[in-house]
Amino acid sequence: MTDAAHTTAAQGFILALDQGTTSSRALVFDRAGRVVAMAQRELPQSYPQPGWVEHDALHIWTDTLACMHEVLLRAALKPADIAAIGITNQRETVVLWDRATGTPLAPAIVWQDRRTADACARLRADGHEAFVRGRTGLVLDPYFSASKIAWLLDHVPGARSRAERGELACGTMDSWLAWQLTGGRRHITDLTNASRTQLLDIRSGRWDDDLLALFGVPRALLPEVLPSAGLLADTDPALFGRAIPLTGIAGDQQAALYGQGCSAAGLAKNTYGTGCFMLMHTGRQVIASTHGLLATCAAQTSAHIEYALEGSVFVTGALVQWLRDGLGLIARSADIEALAASVPDSGGVTVVPAFTGLGAPHWSAEARGALYGLTRGTTRAHIARAALEAIALQTLDVMRAMEADAGAPLRALKVDGGGTANALLMQMQADLLDCPVQVAPTAETTSLGAALLAARGCGLDMTLPDSGGRSFQPQDRTLAAALLPRWQRAVSATMQMAAH
């Protein structure tokens, strides 16, 4: 047991850090799984070249630290009231830093970034796809960290030789935050985050020498891989006047799976955030998808590794943001619902939001977004409605692939994330999937998952809040027949454009 764990926290609150694509947050949970307070900072996005997406890792750390102090103030709690910290984070995004100074050598490369599409295509052309997929459960795509790490080593002057000498560290956001929280004493990650790097053998749970050689990543760069719950590290006492144990870490989608109570084979959730991520727990079995999905590690809470099937859709909520910020079609994200509801259908408009390529189940790194079916009669409302349809249709594609891989239909889908506030979208989703869509009782399912893991890791009892979220039943069973043929033609036309 760590020193900090011996210091019994007075009331047993859990502090969850949710470092997402668009914001960094800190939330305090009580033992009943309720949010006591939250602090949040929006995260600036940087698009320095077409297809590139970067974050400032130092900014992420200072925001996170500020949120931690602010949430304690808001909750009127002292550090001594916090039993443990849990981290959940945007996955795959990587940062490279100097071990001596803790300074990043370059902007973090975000999961949406496509700059390594050519490098991945070359590995595919050289016949490495089946090997990589077999060992990691992942397709060869710039989405994952390995090709991004190699890019940093090849483009930051001196980085490769310094990495080989052990002077540099690399990691996903959990690893970066854990490094900072421990005052640079611990370089760690958890199994779920490690499984998204494309450098992990998901069956052994260890970094894999063949993968390291293939991508050209020195082992000395990488963090120690730990379970998702347990006494993982202690924070630097200089930060909060005492060491607080860090007892939970999981990538945000695996944390949401855990926070939704999907910890047994066959249970699935879909999170509507920047993208959509549908995960189905598959117990101790790796299901090698034959329908364009990923096999990935679920949160590890015991000695056994457990797995999930995942369908990652890159652009869903980000499409709503683009309509708001890029086109100025709406003033606030929430306004899309009323605008889309003002027309009975999308008037023949189809949006394929391949802004950063297409993820599951199509996997086209080169595809770019497209708008089809415009006429002189097309209005803002038609485009808004087509955008919501595109979110729901992408989820339908993933759901069908998941059912085909699992060999059984999903009877209901648990959902969470920012987009679930949109009742029209949720109803479209239930209609298209032809199954009930159950919205999580708390909007903070991802953070709750991290808090539950941290509670488990420090031996604190925390209950999963009961149901109470809204449920949407299928009503219009004709919607899939009305939209699907046009959608499928639009997706294949978009992919064909990319092929030329």
Ligand X SMILES: Nc1ncnc2c1ncn2[C@@H]1O[C@H](COP(=O)(O)OP(=O)(O)O)[C@@H](O)[C@H]1O
Ligand Y SMILES: O=P(O)(O)OC[C@H](O)CO
Query: Residues 107-136: x/- map of binding to ligand X (CB under 6 A)?
Result: ------------------------------
Q: How far is the CB of 410 from ligand Y (least distance, A)?
A: 21
Residue 189, strand partner residues: 225
The upper half-sphere exposure of residue 387, i.e. CA atoms within 13 Å in the direction of its Cβ, equals 30
Among the listed residues 320, 402, 453, 454, the single contact to ligand X using CB under 6 A: 320
Q: How far is the CB of 251 from ligand Y (least distance, A)?
A: 6
Our CB check for ligand Y shows the closer of 173 and 428 to be 173
Q: How far is the CB of 21 from ligand Y (least distance, A)?
A: 4
449 binds ligand X per the rule CB under 6 A: no
Our CB check for ligand Y shows the closer of 33 and 449 to be 449
> Of the candidates 346, 440, 356, which has an alpha carbon nearest to the alpha carbon of residue 393?
346
Among the listed residues 336, 358, 399, 495, the single contact to ligand X using CB under 6 A: 336
Q: How far is the CB of 265 from ligand Y (least distance, A)?
A: 22
Q: How far is the CB of 446 from ligand X (least distance, A)?
A: 7
200 binds ligand X per the rule CB under 6 A: no
Residue 278 near residue 402, CB atoms below 8 Å: yes
If you count them, how many residues does the chain have? 500
Residue 14, strand partner residues: 29, 84
Pairing type for strands 268-272 and 413-416 reads parallel
What's the burial of 326, exposed, middle or buried (CB within 10 Å: 0-12/13-18/19+)?
exposed
**Binding segment (CB under 6 A) for ligand X, from list 19-27, 144-152, 190-198, 243-251:** 19-27
Is 54 annotated to bind ligand?
Answer: no
H/E segment holding residue 218: none
Is 22 annotated to bind ligand?
Answer: yes
Per-residue tokens: 26? 């800190």
Which runs of E-coded beta strand occur in 60-132? 82-89, 95-98, 108-109
Is 88 annotated to bind ligand?
Answer: no
Q: Which does 92 bind (CB under 5 to 8 A by kind): ligand Y, ligand X, none?
A: ligand Y
Residue 359 near residue 312, CB atoms below 8 Å: yes
Is 23 annotated to bind ligand?
Answer: yes
334 binds ligand X per the rule CB under 6 A: yes
Residue bearing tokens 């996005």: 45
Q: Which does 320 bind (CB under 5 to 8 A by kind): ligand X, ligand Y, none?
A: ligand X
Per-residue tokens: 299? 């949160």
251 binds ligand X per the rule CB under 6 A: no
Which runs of E-coded beta strand occur in 80-137? 82-89, 95-98, 108-109
Query: Residues 267-306: x/- map of binding to ligand X (CB under 6 A)?
Result: ------xx--------------------------------
* Amino acid at the residue 392: A
> CA-CA distance, 290 to 32, in Å (whole number)?
40
Is 143 annotated to bind ligand?
Answer: yes
* Amino acid at the residue 252: D
Our CB check for ligand X shows the closer of 394 and 422 to be 422
Contact residues for ligand Y, defined by CB under 6 A: 20-21, 90-92, 111, 251-253, 273-275, 312
145 binds ligand X per the rule CB under 6 A: no
Which runs of E-coded beta strand occur in 275-316? 276-281, 294-297, 307-313
Residue 168, strand partner residues: 98
378 binds ligand X per the rule CB under 6 A: no
**Binding segment (CB under 6 A) for ligand X, from list 114-122, 193-201, 262-270, 329-337:** 329-337
Among the listed residues 21, 24, 116, 346, the single contact to ligand X using CB under 6 A: 21
Residue 169 near residue 94, CB atoms below 8 Å: no
Q: How far is the CB of 318 from ligand X (least distance, A)?
A: 5
Q: Which does 314 bind (CB under 5 to 8 A by kind): ligand Y, ligand X, none?
A: none
Q: How far is the CB of 424 from ligand X (least distance, A)?
A: 8
Q: How far is the CB of 310 from ligand X (least distance, A)?
A: 15
Q: 3-state class of 150 per DSSP?
A: helix
> CA-CA distance, 43 to 63, in Å (whole number)?
9
421 binds ligand X per the rule CB under 6 A: yes
Q: 3-state class of 251 per DSSP?
A: strand
Is 89 annotated to bind ligand?
Answer: no
> CA-CA distance, 206 to 195, in Å (whole number)?
9
Q: How far is the CB of 89 from ligand Y (least distance, A)?
A: 7
> CA-CA distance, 116 to 478, in Å (whole number)?
41
Q: 3-state class of 282 per DSSP?
A: coil
* Amino acid at the residue 474: P
357 binds ligand X per the rule CB under 6 A: no
Is 92 annotated to bind ligand?
Answer: yes
Q: Which does 336 bind (CB under 5 to 8 A by kind): ligand Y, ligand X, none?
A: ligand X
Quick count: other Cβ atoms within 10 Å of Cβ 424?
A: 17
* Residue stretches of the annotated binding site: 21-23, 25, 91-92, 143, 252-253, 274, 317, 321, 418, 422
Residues at the site binding ligand X, with contacts judged by CB under 6 A: 20-23, 273-274, 317-318, 320-321, 333-334, 336-337, 417-419, 421-422, 425
